[in-house]
Amino acid sequence: MTAITGSAWAPSLGYRIRWGASDTFALTKRSLLVWFRVPAYIFFSVIQPVIFVLLFRFVFGGAIPVHVPGGYVNFLMPGIIAQTAAFATFGTAIVLAQELQKGVIDRLKSMPIARSAVLTGRLVADTIRMFVTILIIVGVGYAVGFRFLNGFGWAVAMVVLATVFGVAIACISAFTGLAIGDEEAVQSFGLIWLFPLTFVSSAFVPIATMPGWLQAFASHNPVTYVVDAMRAMALGGRLEPYLWPNLWRSMIWLAGIFIVFLPLAVRSYRRAS
Amino acid sequence: MTQFNGAGEQPAILVEGLTKSFGQVHALRGIDLSVPRGTVLGVLGPNGAGKTTAVRILTTLLVPDGGRAVVEGHDVVREAAAVRRSIGLAGQSAAIVEELTGRENLEIIGRLYHLSRAETRSRATELLEQFGLADAANRTAKTYSGGMQRRLDLAASLVGRPRVLFLDEPTTGLDPRGRLGMWDIIRSLVADGTTLLLTTQYLDEADELADEIVVIDHGLVIAAGTSEQLKNRIGGDVIEFTVPDRGRVADAVAAIKPIGEGEPHADPETGVVGVGVGARGSEALIEAVRALDAAGIASHGLALRRPSLDDVFLTLTGHGAEDEQPNGRRRGPRGRGRAKERGTPEGQSPEEKTARAAS
């Protein structure tokens, strides 16, 4: 015991990667199983964006003049899809806080599993869930008149960008959930920042209609860059010139979010108790 | 404290001078423990005594500030990975996924221990039967009673066949029936040779299950020994009664003093008088009736009862076992402690529980 050799068991890197992948897979499967077991969860993650689609398409939409091919419904859908991806991460924060509270994370941490598996398993499962939700919302959009106008390739790219954006937000949510560690607190105020972030952007209305001080925030909001890039990807045409500049800015922002919040989430997972 | 481990055989758990503080709160102020293989150590103490902090350090969830802890020959800090391969942990709440069935919960744990598919299945089946959950195996855990959920949680901690098992207040929040069921299961585990460290707030629980008991308070071990030794220090059973005439409390104390094995304690405000009477139970009760009668003191509710955690603390520390210190956990916005307090009747004394069971 006085020896400082540490554990005699020193597995190779390859072995550890396979071990970690297997643990991540088991935990991903666990989360997805919950999802299949309680279909209401899918329903609830879809119902809110569907209401938004209908509300903005048919109630507010007529009053919002936009200059994009296909009119307001085409303007709206990329914004709704980005917001859906961001709001899907409520689940990430709430479930992590809940598992922390119930001692599930303690149990997992006291077991000989890869240290990264709980967080990666959660993120992988939530990414799959988010992706499915996005596809459903695209379908709903099609039902109310939305159309991709820029070809299949850019349509796929738009969905991918929305998903990557969602995963970046999921890192922030994971950090928030673990740092707060209380399900009710997370539910009531932990993710309140998502509302101004998604609404004060180009997601629902053209920024030019906002008062000047708000425009200053909205036009530098990363959600605006992501939504503008998605819109240009989906619609092309006269939005084509906006595609690459916004895509670059989006990628830099998203990389920044990953670089800052992934380590923070990992750190709060390690400290969580 | 325990010296009966054979020459050369190291204890399953060895703790020396362990300290841990959370800001200004000194959760552990230097505790020593030694648990020989295949035995049960009961760690007894009120809320906030440091029990959970100790368990969290021993299960590698927290890093201590000072001292050292060794589990199955591995240091919990430097060889945490090796420690995790030999332990199981069941905490104060059911750490299970309620949306999944009992079987699914156990099978996921099995996969995380890298058992093969077949092994995972058979281990889950085996545990579900052992824990009386076979009939409920394919129902979601949400439909389980509190006792069943805790049994499933305990089963989950055993999937990896741990050599050392940590149970942190395994019966807190359970109804009396759930508690008894849990005790039976814990006893059967011990019979299989698992080393067990169990924390509890209930003296009767430690008495039922533990070979050795350690009493901790404010982060220090204040007493250690077998249940018998500890009870002898408290003075075994307790006679307690209320003197309705508050002016005669002192007379009552004087009257029963020769009967007790320790100093009687009295509360002048409520008129409650109590004294430890060792193993002389009913004999002492008759003497007390005679002594009070001879002195002409009226009394209410004269009864003999088993010593409670409060009696242990009154005897050992001079103060009751009230919750006067924050939990061993990190405070701040965390809120786990709060959720626990909300959810479970922790303040309940064993007497209250028995009374409920009887009604």
* pLDDT of B254: 87
* pLDDT of B8: 52
Measure Cα distances from B234 to A14, B228, B250, B290 in Å: 59, 10, 22, 24
**Average pLDDT score over residue span B13-37:** 95
- Containing domain of residue A91, as a range? 13-271
Measure Cα distances from A10 to A2, A239, B220 in Å: 19, 55, 37
* pLDDT at B152 > cutoff 90: yes
Number of domains comprising chain A: 1
Q: Which of B283, B264, B284 is nearest to B274 (CA)?
A: B264
- Residue B84, chain A, CB below 8 Å: the answer is yes
* pLDDT of B204: 83
* pLDDT of A127: 96
The CB-based long-range contact list for A24-27 (8 Å cut-off, 24+ gap) reads A24/A114, A24/A116, A24/A117, A24/A120, A24/A121, A24/A124, A25/A121, A26/A117, A26/A121, A26/B108, A26/B111, A26/B112, A27/A108, A27/A117, A27/A118, A27/A120, A27/A121, A27/A122, A27/A125, A27/B108, A27/B112
B281 versus A125: the higher-pLDDT residue is: A125
* pLDDT of B320: 62
Residues in chain A closer than 8 A to B114 (CB atoms): 19, 22
CB contact under 8 A, A111 and B160: yes
How does DSSP assign A190-258, residue by residue? ITTTHHHHHHSSTTTS-GGGS-HHHHHHHHH-HHHHHHHHHHHHHH-GGGHHHHHHHHHHHHHHHHHHH
Question: Each residue of B300-355: pLDDT tens digit?
Answer: 888 888 776 667 767 776 666 554 444 433 333 333 333 333 333 333 333 333 33
CB contact under 8 A, A109 and B82: no
- Using CA coordinates, name the residue in chain A closest to B329: A273
Q: Which of A179, A160, A176, A201 is nearest to A257 (CA)?
A: A176
- Residue B79, chain A, CB below 8 Å: the answer is yes
CB contact under 8 A, B100 and A33: yes
Nearest-Cα distance to chain B for A178, in Å, is 9
Residues in chain A closer than 8 A to B99 (CB atoms): 33-34, 37-38
Pairwise CA distance, residues A184 & A40, whole Å: 20
User: What count of CB pairs under 8 Å joins A to B?
Assistant: 107
CB contact under 8 A, A181 and B160: no
User: Which segment of A37-51, B108-122, B146-160, B308-322 scores lowest on mean pLDDT?
Assistant: B308-322
pLDDT in tens, chain A (273 residues): 433 444 445 678 888 888 899 999 999 999 999 988 888 877 888 999 999 999 999 999 888 889 899 899 999 999 999 999 999 999 999 999 999 999 999 999 999 998 889 999 999 999 999 999 999 999 999 999 999 999 999 999 999 999 999 999 999 999 999 999 999 999 988 889 999 999 999 999 999 999 999 999 999 999 999 999 999 999 999 999 999 999 999 999 999 999 999 999 999 998 876
Q: Tell me the whole-structure pTM to 2 decimals.
A: 0.81
B-facing residues of A in 18-47 (CB < 8 A) are: 19, 22-23, 26-27, 29-30, 33-34, 37-38
Measure Cα distances from B96 to A74, A96, B122, B148 in Å: 44, 13, 19, 11
- Residue B154: exposed, middle, or buried by beta-carbon count in 10 A (0-12, 13-18, 19+)? buried
Pairwise CA distance, residues B138 & B144, whole Å: 11
Give chain A's largest Cα–Cα span: 76
* pLDDT of A1: 40
Q: Tell me if A111 is assigned to some domain.
A: yes
Nearest-Cα distance to chain A for B100, in Å, is 6
Q: Tell me if A5 is assigned to some domain.
A: no
Report DSSP state, residue B60. T
Q: Which amino acid is at B134?
A: A
Identify whether the C-beta of residue A243 lies closer than 8 Å to the C-beta of residue A151. no
Mean of the per-residue pLDDT values for chain B? 83
Q: Tell me if A4 is assigned to some domain.
A: no
Q: Tell me if A7 is assigned to some domain.
A: no
Q: Tell me if A57 is assigned to some domain.
A: yes
Nearest-Cα distance to chain A for B280, in Å, is 44
Map out the domains of chain B with their CATH numbers: 13-231 (3.40.50.300), 236-306 (3.30.70.100)
Nearest-Cα distance to chain B for A30, in Å, is 7
Which among A33, A103, A180 has CB closest to B333?
A180
- Token pair belonging to A178: 């673990």
Question: Each residue of B56-79: pLDDT tens digit?
Answer: 999 999 999 999 999 999 999 999
CB contact under 8 A, B81 and A4: no
* pLDDT of A10: 64
Residues with Cβ within 8 Å of residue B302, at least 6 apart in sequence: B239, B240, B241, B285, B288, B289, B292
Q: Tell me if A8 is assigned to some domain.
A: no
Nearest-Cα distance to chain A for B77, in Å, is 10
- Residue B140, chain A, CB below 8 Å: the answer is yes
Pairwise CA distance, residues A201 & A220, whole Å: 9
Q: Tell me if A142 is assigned to some domain.
A: yes
- Residue B112, chain A, CB below 8 Å: the answer is yes
CB contact under 8 A, B89 and A107: yes
Helix (H, G, I), strand (E, B), or coil: what is residue B168? strand
* pLDDT of B45: 87
- Token pair belonging to B284: 């002492």
* pLDDT at B176 > cutoff 50: yes
Q: Tell me if A146 is assigned to some domain.
A: yes
Residue B45: phi and psi, rounded to 5, are 180, 160
- Using CA coordinates, name the residue in chain B closest to A117: B112
Confidence band, pLDDT 50/70/90 cuts, at residue B259: confident
CB contact under 8 A, A182 and B60: no
Q: What is the ipTM of this complex?
A: 0.87
- Residue A16, chain B, CB below 8 Å: the answer is no
* Mutation target among B14, B62, B111, B138 for the A interface, most CBs of A within 10 A: B111
B281 versus A26: the higher-pLDDT residue is: A26
Cβ neighbour number for residue A266 with a 10 Å cutoff? 18
